[in-house]
Chain A
Amino acid sequence: MVNTAIDTPYLVADGVSKRFGDTVVLDLLTIGVGRGEFVSLLGPSGCGKTTLLRLVAGLLKSDSGRIELGGRVISDLPPHRRNVGVVFQNYALFPHLNVFENIAFGLRARGAAESQVAETVSRFLALVKLSDYADRPATTLSGGQQQRVAVARALATHPDILLLDEPFSALDRQLREGMQIELRALLRELGITAIFVTHDQEEALVMSDRIAVMHKGAIEQFDTPQAIHGSPSSRFVLDFMGSSVTMEGKVTGTADGLCMVETADGFLRVSGGFIRGADVVVATRPEHIRLVAEPANRPDANTLEVSLTDHIFFGARTVAHLKTRSGGKLKADVAAGDIAAARAQDRLYAEWRVDETMVFPAETGR
């Protein structure tokens, strides 16, 4: 597991486990988040990301392990003493209160003076651009507006950390993209540390300083978006982040720091330290594959003969569906015009760079 660590993490979950009945949802999980950092917990449903979030919030108690926030051990504290802010998936705005009262709730619950409450709430209303909506019942606002109220409400109490549980999943695409940018800017301006749970890898890539890809209760990789996308540490991370094409093969030898892998369609060069005879999976991403008429035959390129079976127009890009001689399936991102050119060729080759090739041990299960 590739894991970049922070020197003095602000939030630490150390050896945290949680099981529900017979199911182990989190298994001795350890993670550290730096101050002011925006970390995403990314993974499919059931991987434990929401459970971890709720453990940090204090809405669940862990079976083992320790949670520290800003130097305080908070594992045994109930949620109302942890000073965390939570933004829920369905906003959880109080239907019997208006927008102002919703945002003011936390401050009033802590016994703040009304003058201070008014000042803080007004400030946050302005920050989320909802000053004109203060008197409206909270549930009469649109989805995007309610989301902003939920964020303002969680931030108004100056929490030590902001926890967000798939807050944008109910919004339509355009609104979601706008909210992502707004939220990121707001948190940067306030210097708030945040943990963001999502199953949408694009969202995680856009917003995060670092991403923790989770799978079955453990963190597979915890790194910057670039590292996770470009150098996935496992087959799972590869499959989960972006689209990929894979080929199975066996390592036949090494030369110049590269391994030669024999696949059903020919030899491929990968960089890696595998022993001879190892079963591996070679992978790359469709955006790295080019369609060419002649193989380049260079040591820094991989080439396979293919035929064009289909192409799909996505607007910004076109995806060409390819088939190798042995029947393997590949995809390549091409420009719309390349399709016609590719059809005109007698022979067609898929080519990509060796340093854009990834290799993983072939494993069963996982």
Chain B
Amino acid sequence: MTAQRTTRDRTWLLAVPGVGFLFAAYAVPLALLLLVSFKFPETFTLSAYQHFFADSYNWHVIWNTVRAALLTTGFCLLLGYPAAFALAWSRGAVQILFLICLILPLSVGIVVKAFAWTIVLRTDGVLNQALVGLGILGQPMRLIFTEAGLIFGAVNVFIPFMILPIYSVVRLMDSRLVEAAQTMGATPLYVFRRVVLPLTLPGVIAGIAFVFSMSLAMYVVPTLLVGERYMTLSRQIARSYLYLRDEQLGSTVAVVLLVFSLAVIVSSQWLAGRTRGAP
């Protein structure tokens, strides 16, 4: 009896180093940042926020950020969902190649990857050369420094984080469930809607949470692919701190972005809890 109690007591202590570290180095600084944005310790006011939200330019920036994140997540989902199935269906050497294609790009480094995309998307770059050469386009299309180019590059960076969570759920799905549904008279569309989709939903939610939060906060990809024309919250933060030396503005925007990220985390946890009925 005593031994059991000791073991139980000891367990939560194990988390103390890790959680303590994160608390001190991550949670506390963020909380302080929040306080600074309220102009603490001099006063406690929301004036910085009032200022921020009064400026329509900032709403424009917020909309850019959210829009880019939505588009990136949407395309990642559209392409990543079938790709996850292709990965699950592949065997042997094909599957190994597939996995290499997913993981190897992580080693290139986001800077070089984004830069490689600038080379590809340039007006005289490979993509335009191919499109014009194949006769799809009459003349080269402007992709660099456009939103389309940004989404192109962002999806390229983040799609593995959509594919892998969905794949891990697809892999666990019992194929007999699809067979059972078929034998009961369900058409392929009905099977997809009522069996496959609900069962893969946890993976989809995880993938969306990852990609949306990461693309909301992305900095390097927009910097290299769209530059000044397309201002996002991250770029605004960096600009405030590194160039404008306006720490007040920087911390305000930072908190706005933080709130968005927290909202994504909380809602994805809530959704995940609701769909947990499907093991």
Whether the complex brings A and B within 8 Å at their CB atoms is answered: yes
List A residues at the B interface (Cβ < 8 Å). 57-59, 78-86, 88, 90, 92, 94-96, 105-106, 109-110, 137, 139, 153-154, 157
Kindly list chain A residues whose C-beta atoms are within 8 Å of the C-beta of B199. Answer: 95-96
Kindly list chain A residues whose C-beta atoms are within 8 Å of the C-beta of B277. Answer: 95-96, 137
Kindly list chain B residues whose C-beta atoms are within 8 Å of the C-beta of A137. Answer: 277
List B residues at the A interface (Cβ < 8 Å). 174, 176-177, 179-188, 190, 194-195, 198-199, 275, 277-279
The answer to whether residues A80 and B183 also contact, given A96-B198, A96-B278, A139-B279 and a CB cut-off of 8 A, is yes
Contact indicator B179/A86 (Cβ below 8 Å)? yes
The answer for the CA separation of A182 and B214 in the assembled complex, in Å, is 56
Out of B176, B186, B194, B279, which one reaches A88, CB within 8 Å?
B176
Contact indicator A105/B181 (Cβ below 8 Å)? yes
Q: Which residue of B lies closest to A110 (CB)?
A: B185
Q: Which residue of B lies closest to A102 (CB)?
A: B180
The answer for the CA separation of A94 and B180 in the assembled complex, in Å, is 9
The answer to whether residues A109 and B184 also contact, given A95-B199, A95-B277 and a CB cut-off of 8 A, is yes
The answer to whether residues A92 and B177 also contact, given A105-B194, A109-B194 and a CB cut-off of 8 A, is yes
Seed contacts A58-B183, A88-B176, A157-B184; 10 additional CB < 8 Å A-B pairs: A58-B182, A86-B179, A86-B180, A95-B199, A95-B277, A95-B279, A105-B181, A106-B184, A106-B185, A109-B186
Q: Which residue of B lies closest to A59 (CB)?
A: B179
Contact indicator B183/A109 (Cβ below 8 Å)? no
Out of B179, B188, B198, B275, which one reaches A92, CB within 8 Å?
B179
Kindly list chain B residues whose C-beta atoms are within 8 Å of the C-beta of A58. Answer: 182-183
Contact indicator A79/B195 (Cβ below 8 Å)? no
Which 6 pairs from chain A and chain B are nearest by CB?
A: A106-B184, A109-B186, A96-B278, A92-B176, A79-B182, A86-B183
The answer for the CA separation of A109 and B192 in the assembled complex, in Å, is 12
Contact indicator B185/A80 (Cβ below 8 Å)? yes
**Closest CB in chain B relative to A203 CB, distance in Å:** 21
Contact indicator A83/B198 (Cβ below 8 Å)? no
Contact indicator A109/B174 (Cβ below 8 Å)? no
Out of B182, B275, B278, B279, which one reaches A80, CB within 8 Å?
B182
Q: Which residue of B lies closest to A78 (CB)?
A: B182
Kindly list chain A residues whose C-beta atoms are within 8 Å of the C-beta of B177. Answer: 92, 94
Kindly list chain A residues whose C-beta atoms are within 8 Å of the C-beta of B176. Answer: 88, 90, 92
Q: Show 8 A/B contacts (Cβ-Cβ < 8 Å), sorted by A.
A: A80-B182, A84-B183, A92-B177, A92-B180, A94-B177, A109-B190, A139-B279, A153-B184
Q: Which residue of B lies closest to A86 (CB)?
A: B183
The answer for the CA separation of A84 and B185 in the assembled complex, in Å, is 8
The answer for the CA separation of A363 and B195 in the assembled complex, in Å, is 51
The answer to whether residues A94 and B183 also contact, given A88-B176, A109-B190, A137-B277 and a CB cut-off of 8 A, is no
Kindly list chain A residues whose C-beta atoms are within 8 Å of the C-beta of B279. Answer: 95, 139
Out of A59, A96, A139, A157, which one reaches B185, CB within 8 Å?
A157
Kindly list chain B residues whose C-beta atoms are within 8 Å of the C-beta of A86. Answer: 179-180, 183
Contact indicator A57/B183 (Cβ below 8 Å)? yes
The answer for the CA separation of A94 and B196 in the assembled complex, in Å, is 10
Kindly list chain A residues whose C-beta atoms are within 8 Å of the C-beta of B275. Answer: 96
The answer for the CA separation of A78 and B178 in the assembled complex, in Å, is 13
Kindly list chain B residues whose C-beta atoms are within 8 Å of the C-beta of A82. Answer: 183
Contact indicator A80/B179 (Cβ below 8 Å)? no
Contact indicator B174/A92 (Cβ below 8 Å)? yes
The answer for the CA separation of A1 and B51 in the assembled complex, in Å, is 93
**Closest CB in chain A relative to B190 CB, distance in Å:** 5
**Closest CB in chain A relative to B187 CB, distance in Å:** 6
The answer for the CA separation of A95 and B198 in the assembled complex, in Å, is 10
Kindly list chain A residues whose C-beta atoms are within 8 Å of the C-beta of B182. Answer: 58-59, 78-80
Kindly list chain B residues whose C-beta atoms are within 8 Å of the C-beta of A105. Answer: 181, 184, 186, 194
**Closest CB in chain A relative to B257 CB, distance in Å:** 35
Kindly list chain B residues whose C-beta atoms are within 8 Å of the C-beta of A57. Answer: 179, 183
Contact indicator A83/B185 (Cβ below 8 Å)? yes
Q: Which residue of A lies closest to B180 (CB)?
A: A92
The answer for the CA separation of A80 and B185 in the assembled complex, in Å, is 4
Contact indicator B179/A88 (Cβ below 8 Å)? yes
**Closest CB in chain B relative to A196 CB, distance in Å:** 16
